[in-house]
Structure 1
Amino acid sequence: MSTPLRTSYPVPVEDLIPAGRRLAAELGEVPSQNRLMKHLRVGKDKAKAVHAALIEERAEDRSETHLHSVPDPDETTTETDGSAAVVDAAAEEFPQVTQPADLVPSRRAGWRGWFPRLARRGGISPASEATTDADAETGDEMRPLRSWPVLLLALPAFVAVWSGWVGLGELTGFGIVHPLPGIADGFTLNSAITLPIGVETYAAFALRVWLSGRVPVRARRFAKRSALSALALGALGQVAYHLLEAAGVTAAPWPITTVVACLPVAVLGMGAALAHLIHTRENGSH
């Protein structure tokens, strides 16, 4: 096994080529630039120059091998082990060009350990041996996070939002209605519940469509704007109700009543428009 060069002075590239040639003969192929840097103890530029010179020599040997005339049967075909290794390696398709580069320690290493280098023609070079980080990334680590805490967070928000919208609806004229007159006169319904169901449900639906990333661009843009608008409108509704309740107001001013009365119609329109955009294919214009 050849020993790496040890010198305290810069070594010219011409003096490094013989050592790189010996290393190539031992490996049976042209070593990679990273291997040359480690073996010759040189920088990236010199290792690149030596690597290019070795590839050029290998290409010349290959062309001479293909153009060589057929030897006479009487001539001996015995060759030294070193020459045979060079000829056999020259007949190959230079695997070192398509093979991924060796792993090198990253400057950002630390708890991450060794990072894979990108190959010259795409892909990521596999690690030569298992690391603690690779072992830690098992199937358990790759499972999606559970979303059940959202339900726990939504429970108190649901109580507060529901009571706020229902209270604001009663202050703006929403109340008990008979939805089935002549059919079920005893059946009553508080129309104030349409506010939290409509506004907050649409906000959650539009937010889901926006963040899913699986809808056309126009639908995603509309979902983003309408979701933020619905959330802002819901917050304003809660603020308005608590201010009116704290002031002891029994009937909301007409501007608030007008806006609240239009909410069911606006929610219906936005929901229908978003559903239409989701199922509409892009025609190339955004």
Structure 2
Amino acid sequence: MTAPTINGTRYPQPIEDLLPAARGLDLPEGQRFPSRNRLMREFRIGAPKAGELLALLKAEPTTPPGETTAPEAPEPAAGPDIPEPAAPVAPLAVDPTPVPEITPPEPEAEVTPVGRPDTPTSAAPVRSAVVWPVVLLALPAFVAIWSGWVGLGGLTGFGVVHPLPGIWDSFSINSAITLPIGVETYGAYALYVWLSGRVPGRARRFAKWSAIASLLVGALGQVAYHLLEAAGVTSAPWWITTAVACLPVAVLGMGAALAHLVRTHD
């Protein structure tokens, strides 16, 4: 059945105009009222308007089919007014069409603005430990280490050399100072790289073991010098001379490898 038209238009009509047309709809046998979905489909109206139209239909008193209206009783003779009992109200039929449940949207979580009293604040920055006492510790260690390495260098063939012959003949340098500068400087740098935690894993592992080895070699060099000096030896044995002569080359290789690893990524 096509939707009834009112005033020759299919635009939404007021409830009062749609109510007579809704009463005239053909209903299946046993159904007293059209469903809300059918009202929406027949009159092309929304769910709220269809629900309101259906409520008006259900609120109207209806006479079940097959029953006749009882004849009106004659009015009683004049006398005292007796209140008539109220007529029973027919129960409203329940629309079998399920109404979809509308879930209200969940409220958004309140965002706490910065600066409110209940806003958690970050912990106060921790002051780093002072490092100036290291200077006091390093001064006596520098004197002892420097003199030990220079002395051991003198016992193993290191001494005064002229590195710029023909260019600057008067310029001379004691090659023994290369031992404390190379070995101890590399040991301190490798120790810093190891403990900094800001380098790739391979560089950190290499710095760790090379720093430990450098410090052990430095300690062994000091022990060797003092033992030879205490024994009055003026020339170190060949195996000590060989080991000391290889130190500058070893320090150069480890320093170059560590610098390369620091600049790479795992």
Cα deviations by residue, 1:39-82 (Å, 9 ceiling, x for unpaired): xxxxxxxxxxxxxxxxxxxxxxxxxxxxxxxxxxxxxxxxxxxx
Cα distance, 1:247 vs. partner?
Answer: 0.3
Quick check: 1:196 aligned with 2:180? yes
Quick check: 1:248 aligned with 2:232? yes
Cα deviations by residue, 1:221-246 (Å, 9 ceiling, x for unpaired): 00000000000000000000000000
> Which consecutive unaligned segments of at least 5 residues does structure 1 have?
1-90, 96-124, 128-133
Task: Tell me how far apart the structure 2 counterparts of residues 251 and 180 of structure 1 sit (CA, whole Å).
Answer: 27
Tell me which amino acid in the other structure corresponds to 2:238. Answer: W
Aligned partner of 1:276 in structure 2 is 260
Task: Tell me how far apart the structure 2 counterparts of residues 265 and 166 of structure 1 sit (CA, whole Å).
Answer: 17
2:142 corresponds, among 149, 158, 166, to 158
Task: Tell me how far apart the structure 2 counterparts of residues 145 and 278 of structure 1 sit (CA, whole Å).
Answer: 26
Cα deviations by residue, 1:143-184 (Å, 9 ceiling, x for unpaired): 211111111111100000000000000000000000110111
Aligned residues: 159
Task: Tell me how far apart the structure 1 counterparts of residues 196 and 265 of structure 2 sit (CA, whole Å).
Answer: 17
Give secondary structure in 2 for the equivalent of 1:266. helix
Give secondary structure in 2 for the equivalent of 1:156. helix
Cα deviations by residue, 1:122-160 (Å, 9 ceiling, x for unpaired): xxx959xxxxxx9xx755xx2211111111111100000
Quick check: 1:230 aligned with 2:230? no
Cα distance, 1:93 vs. partner?
Answer: 7.4
Aligned partner of 1:216 in structure 2 is 200
Task: Tell me how far apart the structure 1 counterparts of residues 236 and 222 of structure 2 sit (CA, whole Å).
Answer: 13
Cα distance, 1:200 vs. partner?
Answer: 0.2
Give secondary structure in 1 for the equivalent of 2:168. coil
Structure number with higher relative contact order (C-alpha < 8 Å, ≥ 6 residues apart): 2
**By percentage of residues, which structure has more helix?**
1
2:251 corresponds, among 264, 267, 270, to 267
Quick check: 1:169 aligned with 2:164? no
TM-score, L = length of structure 1: 0.51
Give secondary structure in 2 for the equivalent of 1:169. helix
Tell me which amino acid in the other structure corresponds to 2:132. Answer: W
What's the % identity of the aligned pairs? Answer: 74
Tell me which amino acid in the other structure corresponds to 1:256. Answer: I
Tell me which amino acid in the other structure corresponds to 1:217. Answer: G
> Which consecutive unaligned segments of at least 5 residues does structure 2 have?
1-105, 111-118
Aligned partner of 1:5 in structure 2 is none
After the TM superposition, which residues 106-117 of structure 1 pair with which residues of structure 2 at under 5 Å, given as runs? Answer: none
List structure 1 runs of 4+ shifted beyond 2 angstroms: 91-95
* Structure of higher CA gyration radius: 2
Task: Tell me how far apart the structure 2 counterparts of residues 138 and 152 of structure 1 sit (CA, whole Å).
Answer: 31
Tell me which amino acid in the other structure corresponds to 1:266. Answer: A
